[in-house]
Amino acid sequence: MNTIRLTDTELRMARNALQAYLQVFGHDEADVVREIKSVIAKFRDVETEGEEPRFIA
């Protein structure tokens, strides 16, 4: 497990970048889509907790 400390801006940027990646490249590989969506969900979970922004992978 890894911990990355991100500012609010960095967290939003990372989430938006992954969402854009999915939309622009339209991956056909189900495993890639599933993993990216999982990471995006983790970003959302952190934002709703109201804690210091942090991403745990």
pLDDT in tens, 11-45: 889 989 988 888 877 667 888 888 888 888 888 77
CA dihedral 42, 44, 47, 51 (to 10 degrees): -30
Q: How confident is the model at residue 57 (pLDDT cuts 50, 70, 90)?
A: very low
Global confidence as pTM: 0.62
